[in-house]
């Protein structure tokens, strides 16, 4: 048996679930902010086992879902330039931009778009196509941004002239602060993202408990991890001692991964960023630092983010803020399905709407 299989042992999980029901007797609205947590909670069946007083909210933790309409518009514009090859993670292909247009549509009309597994593959693509400009679409949070930063450094070391990145990277803690400051969200606790935390560590979250008196637990993706986190949250609330705890010690060091952070902050600097459905969040994005300007695709191609209207009818923003459950959106499972998505929360398999649809909780 794999060592980590013990983390989904049904009997241990059943015991934990019983304990959870004893510990949490009041209403608890908890939010996770990580696409992998979203899927884990649905896929394991945990969501359907939680008692009625414990409500799971799926926050802005899916990188595709939070990519703003104007960012989609900007990379679609890049895709149409002569001599440009777009290299992207596959899940961005079907994300709708203005008028519902996607990268897949652009590709069908002749744009050159290559799906890559790693940003590093985009460097190989650039080396193979020296006469073209390879533009990598940098989406993702603190887990992904260091991999893109490391790739940029490799490209520089190899003297590659035709590789650049559109940075749409986003930082998690500033978005949590926006959600906490919004009185309409009613979030009682956070389950913090395991792999983002593996990079940034515990310190950047301390404000959640200190400033807002909301408990928050860093945890892993097995059912037992999530149950354990919820029990910790229940105890903190009962004792009136909200704190930020790290329950994922097998992966997350309290200090995070300083080497990855160092690489990320050599290549990028924090800047304001646009989040789908939320709007501009100060200091929540990453732009190229002075030293690495030569890799900024916005500069190379003369692109900028333009005002872009939200998708009509799509309530993705309210879903991401925990104000609406996916099935409460009028479009859910009617005009909007995974086969024909209206908004990004239905596009990505990690999106709250797509997970809700796939596991058919309301049907």
CA angle centred on 81, ends 78 and 85, rounded to 5°: 70
Q: According to CB under 8 A, which residues from 71 to 90 bind other proteins?
A: 89
114 binds other proteins (CB under 8 A): no
Q: Are 229 and 219 in contact (CB under 8 A)?
A: yes
Three-state secondary structure along 255-290? CCCHHHHHHHHHHEEEEEEEECCCEEEEEEEEEECH
Cβ of residue 256: shortest distance to other proteins, in angstroms? Answer: 9
Given the complex with other proteins, which of 211 and 259 has the nearer CB atom? 259
Query: What are the phi and psi torsion angles at 290 (to 5°)?
Result: -50, -45
Q: According to CB under 8 A, which residues from 288 to 317 bind other proteins?
A: none
16 binds other proteins (CB under 8 A): yes
Among 83, 90, 130, 258, binds other proteins (CB under 8 A): 258
Q: Which of these segments, 26-34, 76-84, 144-152, 346-354, binds other proteins (CB under 8 A)?
A: 144-152
Burial string for 333-359 (b: 16+ CB within 10 Å, else e) reads beebebeebbbbbbbbebbbbbbbbeb
CA-based nearest residue to 214, from 190, 184, 245: 190
Among 59, 97, 146, 173, binds other proteins (CB under 8 A): 146
Query: What are the phi and psi torsion angles at 20 (to 5°)?
Result: -60, -45
259 binds other proteins (CB under 8 A): yes
263 binds other proteins (CB under 8 A): yes
Q: Which of these segments, 11-19, 95-103, 279-287, 338-346, binds other proteins (CB under 8 A)?
A: 11-19
Cβ of residue 247: shortest distance to other proteins, in angstroms? Answer: 8
Q: Are 156 and 164 in contact (CB under 8 A)?
A: no
Q: Site residues (CB under 8 A) for other proteins?
A: 3-4, 6-7, 12, 15-16, 19, 89, 117-121, 140, 143-144, 146-147, 150, 153-154, 195, 198-199, 224, 228, 231-232, 235-236, 239, 241, 243, 245-247, 249-253, 257-260, 263
């Amino acid at each position: 048996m794999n060592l980590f299989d013990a983390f989904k042992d049904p009997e241990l999980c059943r015991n934990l679930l019983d304990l959870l029901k004893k510990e949490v007797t009041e209403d608890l609205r908890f939010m996770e902010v990580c696409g992998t947590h979203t899927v884990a909670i649905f896929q394991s069946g945990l969501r359907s086992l939680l008692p009625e007083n414990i409500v799971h909210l799926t926050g802005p933790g899916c990188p595709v879902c939070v990519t703003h309409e104007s960012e989609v518009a900007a990379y679609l514009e890049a895709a149409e330039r002569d001599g440009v090859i777009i290299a992207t993670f596959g899940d961005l292909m079907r994300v709708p931009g203005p008028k519902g247009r996607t990268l897949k549509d652009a590709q069908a009309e002749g744009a050159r778009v290559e799906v890559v597994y790693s940003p590093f593959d985009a460097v190989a693509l650039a080396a193979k196509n020296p006469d073209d400009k390879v533009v990598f679409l940098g989406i993702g949070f603190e887990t992904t941004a260091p991999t893109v930063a490391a790739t940029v450094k490799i490209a520089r070391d190899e003297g590659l002239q035709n590789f650049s990145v559109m940075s749409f990277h986003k930082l998690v803690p500033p978005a949590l602060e926006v959600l906490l400051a919004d009185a309409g969200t009613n979030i009682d606790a956070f389950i913090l993202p395991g792999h983002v935390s593996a990079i940034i560590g515990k310190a950047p979250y301390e404000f959640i408990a200190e400033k807002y008196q909301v408990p928050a637990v860093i945890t892993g993706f097995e059912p037992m991890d999530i149950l354990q986190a919820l029990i910790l949250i229940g105890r903190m609330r009962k004792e009136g001692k909200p704190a930020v705890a790290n329950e994922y010690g097998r992966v997350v060091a309290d200090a995070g991964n300083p080497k990855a952070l160092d690489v990320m902050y050599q290549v990028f600097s924090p800047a304001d960023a646009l989040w789908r459905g939320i709007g501009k969040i100060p200091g929540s994005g990453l732009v190229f630092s002075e030293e690495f300007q030569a890799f900024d695709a916005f500069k190379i191609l003369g692109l900028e983010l333009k005002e872009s209207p939200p998708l009509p009818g799509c309530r993705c923003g309210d879903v991401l803020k925990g104000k609406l459950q996916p099935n409460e959106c009028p479009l859910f499972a009617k005009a909007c399905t995974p086969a024909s998505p209206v908004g990004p929360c239905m596009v990505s398999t990690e999106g709250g709407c797509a997970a809700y649809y796939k596991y058919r909780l309301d049907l």
